Chains A and B, each alone.
Chain A
Amino acid sequence: MSAETIASTQSQLRQHRWDRIMKWIRHIPAYLVLGVWSLFTVFIILWVIISSLKSNNELFKDVWALPTELHFENYTKALFAVEMELYMLNSLVVVLTSVVVILMLSAPAAYVLSRKKFKGSNLLTLAFIAGIGIPVPLLFIPLFIILTAFKINNSLFGLGVLFVALSLPFTIYMLTGFFGSLPVELEEAAIIDGASDFQVFFRVMLPLGLPGLITAAIFNFIGLWNEYQLALVFLNDPNKSTLSLGLYSLSNGMEYTGDWVGLMAGVVIVMIPTILLYIFLSEKMISGITMGAVKS
């Protein structure tokens, strides 16, 4: 190798390294802004988790300090003395059943609306989707009357019915979008093979649409787990409280109890299930938001 080629390779390498450094420098503002925003969120959550293990005295003395010993009794107190354990059970029962029923109602409806065109099918789709725009507070009083008429007011069953009804528009919107994007070839092949419409739905559409159904399930689970507005209006028996509503009462009691670390333990108890779900399934959840809105 001649001295000249060595020199030129060296200068190329230097140029290459220089380019990479320049690229990195150009990206500094992006990393800085995104980093500060993301770290802020992560920091607050970590701060609450750490503070939930302190004693109230430690918290008031120095909010930045780490706990000297871990006060797990904050959690046992929140779970058993404040009865969050009961609220958690209530939430699990009502949210899980609602999610299953939502899918049982929405999937067949979305299938028909996206695949079988009949007179008025567009109008019906529109009627379902219009529900997204109806402000829920408008329904507080009429629904109160209806639930009382059915004698299911102030009950987890009644709350579950509302969860289902009010989740239908968005779920059907999501699923019609999803079913509509699936290829029709497999269905046609099944029909040629002599499958009935019902068989096509259960044997072809459901398995093919499974990813969409799972996304819809996660989406509704998180939304309903986190909601407290319907629980606030339609439940007034503390024993029937959902977890979110329980935390709401706990935070309202602060001015009397002053047990801030206990409240932080409560916040962590409410947050952890959805955050864990999110850590494992964030891609699925994020795709759920874009399923209806961003057409491919």
Chain B
Amino acid sequence: MNRQSLSIALTGSGGSGVMTTGNMLLEAAAQAGWYGFMNRSAGPQIRGGEAAALLRVSTVPVESPDDSFDLVLAIEPASLERFVAEIPMRSDSLIINDAEGGRRGSTLPETPAQVVDLPMKNLAKAVTGGRPNMIALGAVAKVIGLPVASIYPVLEKTLKSKGADALKASWACVQAGFLAGEELPDIGGPPVNSELDRERWRITGNEAAGLGAIRGGIRFVAAYPITPATEVLEWLARSLPTVGGVLVQAEDELASINQVIGASFGGTPSMTATSGPGLALMTESLGLSVCSETPVVVLDVMRCGPSTGIATKSEQSDLNIALHGLHGDAPHLVLAPLSVTDCLFTMQWAVHLAESLQTAAVVLSDQSLGQTLAVVDQPADLAFFAKRCVPEDFEEEYFRYAVGDSGISPMAVPGQTGGQYTADGLEHDEAGTPSSLPEDHFAQLDKRERKINGFDYGQYWAELEGSGETAIITWGSTTGPVREALSRLRGTGEDIRLIAMRLLSPERPEDMAAVMKGVKRLLVVEQSFSRQFHRYLRAAYDLPAEVRVFNRPGPLPFRPNEIIEQLADWGKAS
């Protein structure tokens, strides 16, 4: 049986190698000419606990989890229990279980799926240095129709550093698993297309964000480690120096954001990456960036909040703090990538915007984008680059904060003779001298807002599809499932409009009015318990009379069929 796409979950105890297996499977799938992605679900344990690799492979690019899983490999039976909510199954889904695989009993949770047994642990024992996860890899390859030969180059590449014995043992296990797989039901996968002639990449959202930052011109990063943003920093730490940049591990997030502001003051486009708790610590200094008009970019890879929340799971609940967390009237930029690949473009554009507008940009990615490894078409390189307005001569007296028409005033770089000024978080006059005069406060507030509101953001503020009278509006990572739902509906002749917002601040009332023209019913989709996005839309935009909200908190992702159900329900109701 051939299908266009296939969803596979691998579950095991932490350390049982499910992530490695998932990575290898995705790599082999890529060799077979498929697209796909792998998200990771794990508890907070450093070692131990349970882990799941959640994969989807497809003949076409995919950005959303499917409605349910076709195949589940429980390397340890007890490990599945924890993930039943995250791994929806059908009656024709298949669980390959190792009844003897667990240290903690062999009970599987109740699911509608059919279960078959594969003694992965025992088969691995027969191979010197063998491991059950490699048996699993071979068995999965067999049941989804991947040629066993496609696995070998992947093993060779992944196990390069582990030596010839490890490679030999793994290959023997994969072959044994493949052979054992012949006894299992053939669930079939997408048709193999080894001749696929397209330039494809394998990249995570966090790496894409790092690459976008460098393409945009970032050359200084200071940051403090935090889940799930650390991979951005690890990638930048090794990549930045090769292009003339540096990364500093700071003592905390307060230091991170202030080092970044200091470096930017020195003329170097600068950023930090963090998650919700770190963003909360940074908000005072983001106000400094706004008031002193020193550009910075902060990437927030969101996780479930509040407080420490669920550090390893995704949620869109930092929208409020990103939009409204700064004290005083502090206009700044808030952007959100709409897919794993879009982390690249959105970061690159954010650097360009922050530098052009001399302000702070907060970019809201999340765990489900950042830690997803995706096989995608090569992302386009749109040539957005940091372009700061720097004074060329100082023949006349220099006013750093000159009000001007656009509100963007030339920013001298230390070292420029005659450009000396003191950047200030105190309200100031046009020269930068602290001032408590009402007219200076008004003029500078107006300048800082005007430069952001008056800027031409072009077409990139949102991604739009369709033209129906019913529309869905969403932002960030929930765009993937919404897109897939709408594409399925389009297949049945239903045209639903999509508005996926990439630029959340400043508000674009005219652009929004234009795309809302003719919309009679609007469904708001967001991953937040308190409907943060809906409240934001209500406050900032004119919405049609009929509005519904489909919201829920993390960590469960939205699935396309759920969105279709929301629309169908609505149809019946009206």
Partners in one complex: no
Listed in ascending order, the chain A residues whose CB lies under 8 Å from chain B are none
Give B contacts to A, CB under 8 Å: none
